[in-house]
């Protein structure tokens, strides 16, 4: 499976949400990382044929996805940020209903729904009404509906929104399992969602990919260094106006800071290994004074 984006652009009036993007994807997990408003959802909606580009092309194995029409959508599974459901449907009834919409034969649908309910860990809740599910359970039901047609391309837009840490871990494990022999594109603004499961990470800002590569490659691409130091409480406000601070821990004796800077910010500061969260702040964060 191969998806190619060629000079892809989407504008809304004077605002350009996706700006002349060129990318190639094959099987594996791709993590799209950026702040809200970076253009991630617009890009994903074009990949799902819900929006037409202003210019440029998206091809699947060399064919234009908009000309492929139903042939392409049969390859596709999509979980939007917010997905609709009838609140009084049980999980099982909801999935069977979506299977009908997708044109899956009843006998096949019943077997597939049972398999997916087990795979996403909703067996005990299969007869529970959708409105009574927790946020994490609803997201799992959403992933199950995206997988009903056993897609070759799985697109997930902010799939962990509102999930607690345990649900996030379960989700990451599930995506790793589902990614075998599939192309998975996952958008998020939460670094930990993709740090360990993405084969390639894309940093997106203002409609453009500003950096791409493996987690290690992106970490090593940051030109500035990361420093750890301990300062008095009274100095924190001034420091945050001058430097990008990726982490801060307040203690009775003072504040432990993690500072991104090309030069040593204080004589007592100690250089530490950067993390993907540091890189995220470097590319997308701002000093308080800016």
> What secondary structure, in 3-state letters, does 83-106 show?
CCCCCCCEHHHHHHHHHHHCCCCH
- Determine how many CB atoms are found less than 10 A away from the CB of residue 124: 8
Q: What is the pLDDT of residue 286?
A: 61
Using DSSP's 3-state secondary structure scheme, residue 54 falls into coil
User: What distance in Å separates the CA atoms of residue 135 and residue 125, rounded to the nearest whole number?
Assistant: 13
Q: What is the pLDDT of residues 119-166, one digit of tens each?
A: 888 999 999 999 999 888 888 899 899 999 999 999 998 887 767 788
Angle, alpha carbons 15-16-17 (nearest 5°): 110
User: What distance in Å separates the CA atoms of residue 247 and residue 240, rounded to the nearest whole number?
Assistant: 11
Give me the residues paired with residue 60 across strands: 3, 63
Q: Give the pLDDT band (50/70/90) at residue 289.
A: very low
User: How large is the average pLDDT for residues 6-20?
Assistant: 96
User: What distance in Å separates the CA atoms of residue 198 and residue 172, rounded to the nearest whole number?
Assistant: 10
Q: What is the CA radius of gyration of the chain?
A: 22
- Determine how many CB atoms are found less than 10 A away from the CB of residue 118: 12
Asked whether the predicted pLDDT for residue 287 surpasses 70, the reply is: no
What's the predicted TM-score (pTM) here?
Answer: 0.86
User: How large is the average pLDDT for residues 193-219?
Assistant: 91
Average pLDDT, the chain: 90
Sequence-ordered list of residues with C-beta below 8 angstroms from that of 45, at least 6 positions apart, any chain: 51
User: What distance in Å separates the CA atoms of residue 87 and residue 90, rounded to the nearest whole number?
Assistant: 8
């Amino acid at each position: 499976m191969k998806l190619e984006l060629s000079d892809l652009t989407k504008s809304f009036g004077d605002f350009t949400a996706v700006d002349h993007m060129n990318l190639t994807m094959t099987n594996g997990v791709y993590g799209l990382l950026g702040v809200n408003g970076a253009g991630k959802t617009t890009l994903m909606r074009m990949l799902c044929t819900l929006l037409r580009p202003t210019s440029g092309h998206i091809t699947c194995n060399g064919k234009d996805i908009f000309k492929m029409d139903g042939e392409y959508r049969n390859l596709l599974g999509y979980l939007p940020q917010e997905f609709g459901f009838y609140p009084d449907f049980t999980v099982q009834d909801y999935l069977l209903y979506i299977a009908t919409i997708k044109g899956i034969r009843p006998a096949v649908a019943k077997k597939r729904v049972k398999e997916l309910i087990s795979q996403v860990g909703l067996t005990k809740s299969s007869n529970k009404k959708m409105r009574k599910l927790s946020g994490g359970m609803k997201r799992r039901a959403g992933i199950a509906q995206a997988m009903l047609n056993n897609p070759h391309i799985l697109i997930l837009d902010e799939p962990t929104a509102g999930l607690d840490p345990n649900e996030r871990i379960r989700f990451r494990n599930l995506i790793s399992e589902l990614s075998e022999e599939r192309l998975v594109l996952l958008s998020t603004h939460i670094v930990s969602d993709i740090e360990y499961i993405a084969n390639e990470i894309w940093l997106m800002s203002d409609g453009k990919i500003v950096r791409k590569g493996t987690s290690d490659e992106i970490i090593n691409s940051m030109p500035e260094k990361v420093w750890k130091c301990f300062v008095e409480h009274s100095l924190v406000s001034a420091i945050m106006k001058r430097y990008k601070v990726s982490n801060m821990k307040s203690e009775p004796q003072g504040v432990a800071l993690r500072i991104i800077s090309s030069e040593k910010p204080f004589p007592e500061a100690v250089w530490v290994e950067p993390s993907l969260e540091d890189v995220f702040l470097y590319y997308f964060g701002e000093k308080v004074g800016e």
